[in-house]
Amino acid sequence: MRKKAYLLVILLLLVTMTLAACGQDSTQEPTQTTTGNQSSRSTLEVVKNRGYVIVGVNSKLPGFGYLEPDGSYSGFDVEFGRALAAAIFNDPNAVEFRPLSAKDRLTAVQTGEVDVLMRNTTWTISRDTSLGLNFAPTTFYDGQGMMVRKDSGINSLEDLDGARIGVQTGTTTELNLTDHMRKLNVDFEPIVFEDLDSVVAAYEAGSIDAWTTDISGLASRQATLADPNAHKVLPEVMSKEPLGPVVREGDDQWYDIVKWTIFATIEAEELGITQGNIDSFMNSDDPVFRRFLGVEGDLGTNLGLSNDFTVNIIKSVGNYGEIFDRYLGPDTVFNLERGLNDLWTNGGLMYAPPFR
Ligand SMILES: N[C@@H](CCC(=O)N[C@@H](CS)C(=O)NCC(=O)O)C(=O)O
């Protein structure tokens, strides 16, 4: 009898551990850490003393964050790292990029390994409130999609009954997939991978029927498949994935600097200020332009930066629309529509609070 009770306790423990592993923990989110001594130090001071900002990025997502064969980084997310360096140092190259996997990226922010994360990271309430992190404005509004081979006969998520679906650990993708398919009552076999290259390799090899991630990620990697035209993204969007920069909690000034760097790119687009024409606005009489460009007022020094930080950003990387077009627009293989990422004045969600 005692042995039975003992076995029952062991069994209960095992069940609890398995449930924990299948819940939030299965996404391998880091646990809460105190920001400790990080929070008492000014990140801006640390960055200035170091002489460059350390930005966590993706290295495997062409168009968003990609390590080029020559060792340089390119992409939409990466460019906001350069914008931040320009805002602080008036030098877009005063930045060191650190490649981070999905699984390690949030821990790298918590521990101070990076000053900011700019890597296709979804803003969720649990990440925002339980991990000691803060999310800066969304730079790319996305949603989760599913890629299949065109000749698979699969035309909707419902057709995936019995399918093997590849997904990456440490992402929102993993939980969304389970939730969404349960709602649709579709039975599938999740095949969980540690990194994106393995997901894509398994898909190319035909050992999984489909793979899922943010639609931006699907578009990015579709372009690198052996025959991009042999694949399609199903029409259903499974979730909301607002992607943007992440900083540690506890340093409001740093959080503000990252926020207003992003906003500066959006505001510049709204005002029609580009990398090419910015000089023509420097003598404007319009107080809106004068304040934004730091010709008058103290908007920059209030942040701990120079008043012309916006000018340094736009001269270095251009406005939001220029950044988008350079990496993702009609002249690129991705040819992504602006959609939700258009300015609010064009029906999108890109909206900067007033620079006043
Ligand atoms: N936005 C989602 C997914 C982000 C994510 O990490 N996606 C994968 C698939 S596109 C990725 O970038 N993997 C690259 C890697 O880990 O090397 C999240 O924040 O969890």
- Pair 144, 176: CB distance under 8 Å: yes
Second-level CATH architecture of 144-239: 3-Layer(aba) Sandwich (3.40)
The neighbour count for residue 152, using CB atoms within 10 Å, is 15
- Rounded to the nearest angstrom, the distance between the alpha carbon of 120 and the centre of ligand 1 is 6
3-state secondary structure of 328: helix
Report whether residue 217 contacts ligand 1, using a CB cutoff of 6 Å: yes
List, for residues 85-131, the tens digit of each pLDDT value: 999 999 999 999 999 999 999 999 999 999 999 999 999 999 999 99
Task: Give pLDDT, residue 140.
Answer: 98
User: Residue 26 pLDDT more than 90?
Assistant: no
Residue 102, Ramachandran bin (φ over 0: left; ψ between -120 and 50: alpha; else beta):
alpha
List, for residues 195-225, the tens digit of each pLDDT value: 999 999 999 999 999 999 999 999 999 999 9
Report whether residue 262 contacts ligand 1, using a CB cutoff of 6 Å: no
> Measured between alpha carbons, how far is 212 from 167 in angstroms, rounded to an integer?
6
Task: Give pLDDT, residue 32.
Answer: 60
Task: Give pLDDT, residue 22.
Answer: 28
**What residue owns the CA closest to ligand 1's atom 6?**
102
3-state secondary structure of 35: coil
Report whether residue 122 contacts ligand 1, using a CB cutoff of 6 Å: yes
Whole-number average pLDDT of the chain: 92
Task: Give pLDDT, residue 339.
Answer: 98
Task: Give pLDDT, residue 52.
Answer: 98
What is the SS3 assignment for 267-311?
A: HHHHHCCCCCCHHHHCCCCCHHHHHHCCCCCCCCHHHCCCCCHHH
What secondary structure letter does DSSP report for 218? H
User: Residue 2 pLDDT more than 70?
Assistant: no
User: Residue 173 pLDDT more than 70?
Assistant: yes
Task: Give pLDDT, residue 41.
Answer: 79
Domain extents in the chain: 36-141+243-346, 144-239
User: Residue 42 pLDDT more than 80?
Assistant: yes
Report whether residue 138 contacts ligand 1, using a CB cutoff of 6 Å: no
Fold for 36-141+243-346, please state it. Answer: D-Maltodextrin-Binding Protein; domain 2 (3.40.190)
Task: Give pLDDT, residue 28.
Answer: 55
Q: Pick the atom of ligand 1 nearest to 218's CA.
A: 10
- Pair 92, 85: CB distance under 8 Å: yes
User: Residue 148 pLDDT more than 50?
Assistant: yes
Task: Give pLDDT, residue 138.
Answer: 98
Q: pLDDT band at 13, cuts 50/70/90?
A: very low
Higher pLDDT, 17 or 330: 330
For the entire predicted model, the pTM comes to 0.90
**What residue owns the CA closest to ligand 1's atom 13?**
196
Report whether residue 213 contacts ligand 1, using a CB cutoff of 6 Å: yes
Percent with pLDDT over 90 in the chain: 88
List, for residues 315-338, the tens digit of each pLDDT value: 999 999 999 999 999 999 999 999
- Rounded to the nearest angstrom, the distance between the alpha carbon of 196 and the centre of ligand 1 is 7
Edge-to-edge strand list for the sheet holding 65-67: 60-61, 65-67, 73-74
List, for residues 248-268, the tens digit of each pLDDT value: 999 999 999 999 999 999 999
Question: Would 36-141+243-346 and 144-239 be classified into the same CATH topology?
Answer: yes
Task: Give pLDDT, residue 133.
Answer: 98
Report whether residue 58 contacts ligand 1, using a CB cutoff of 6 Å: yes
User: Residue 46 pLDDT more than 70?
Assistant: yes
Task: Give pLDDT, residue 160.
Answer: 98
List, for residues 174-195, the tens digit of each pLDDT value: 989 999 999 999 999 999 999 9
Burial class (CB in 10 A: 0-12, 13-18, 19+), 112: middle
Residue with tokens 């999609």: 145
Q: pLDDT band at 40, cuts 50/70/90?
A: low
> Measured between alpha carbons, how far is 111 from 131 in angstroms, rounded to an integer?
11
- Pair 154, 209: CB distance under 8 Å: yes
Residue 318, Ramachandran bin (φ over 0: left; ψ between -120 and 50: alpha; else beta):
left
User: Going by C-beta distance under 8 Å and a sequence separation of 6 or more, which residues neighbour residue 240?
Assistant: 141, 143
User: Residue 1 pLDDT more than 60?
Assistant: no
- Rounded to the nearest angstrom, the distance between the alpha carbon of 130 and the centre of ligand 1 is 20
User: Residue 33 pLDDT more than 60?
Assistant: no
DSSP string, 70-127: TS-EESHHHHHHHHHHHHHHS-TT-EEEEE--TTTHHHHHHTTSSSEE-SS-B--HHH
Task: Give pLDDT, residue 31.
Answer: 67
